[in-house]
Amino acid sequence: MNVLDEVRITGSIIQAYMMCPRQSWLMTRQINPDEDNELLAVGRFISQTSYPRERKEVRIEHLALDLVKREGKNLVVAEVKKSSRAKEAAVRQLLYYLYELKKMGIEAEGELLFPEERRRQTVKLDAEAEAETEKLIAQVKADIAQPFPPASVRTKACSKCAYAEFCWA
């Protein structure tokens, strides 16, 4: 099977890859993307002030965004996380969303929200972040195209991973 023909990279795969490349490889053998396309609705949301200021769980093609809101003239895409422990993976996931939106002609800023810690962090897709995101996407695609998963490497992520039994039984 050529996995790249079957699977679209998603924010969840990017996040999983940052936690553990093996986890992202395993995900790509199971996911069944829902292709509901709300691009048009989001376009209206961005341009019309009569729409509510926030929308939750917005799906645009292969992107599943936790929250989209307007702040002045800016569109802000927010990702809500339970904790900041895996913040770097969350930043990469959000940058991936901003990168994909830009390719669709939608300029947005990102915001990571950690409600239980009462914290938030702004994430911007500047030129450096864009180049890093392109590189990361290429790396993820190359790795998930491999016929076998990367070897199991025990890390802190294993304790909360859905594949723990598969990897370590």
Minimal distance in Å, beta carbon 18 to ligand SF4?
A: 11
157 binds ligand SF4 (CB under 6 A): yes
93 binds ligand SF4 (CB under 6 A): no
153 binds ligand SF4 (CB under 6 A): yes
Q: Which two tokens stand for residue 69?
A: 């809101």
11-15 contacts, C-beta under 8 A, 24 or more apart: 11/63, 11/64, 11/79, 11/93, 11/94, 11/96, 11/97, 12/64, 12/93, 13/140, 13/144, 14/89, 14/92, 14/93, 14/96, 14/136, 14/137, 14/140, 15/86, 15/89, 15/90, 15/92, 15/93
Tell me which stretch binds ligand SF4 (CB under 6 A): 28-36, 37-45, 100-108, 155-163: 155-163
CA 128 to chain centre: 18
23 binds ligand SF4 (CB under 6 A): yes
Among 13, 20, 63, 125, binds ligand SF4 (CB under 6 A): 20
How many residues lie near ligand SF4 (CB under 6 A)?
13
136 binds ligand SF4 (CB under 6 A): no
Q: Which residues bind ligand SF4 (CB under 6 A)?
A: 20, 22-23, 26, 152-153, 155, 157-158, 161, 163-164, 167
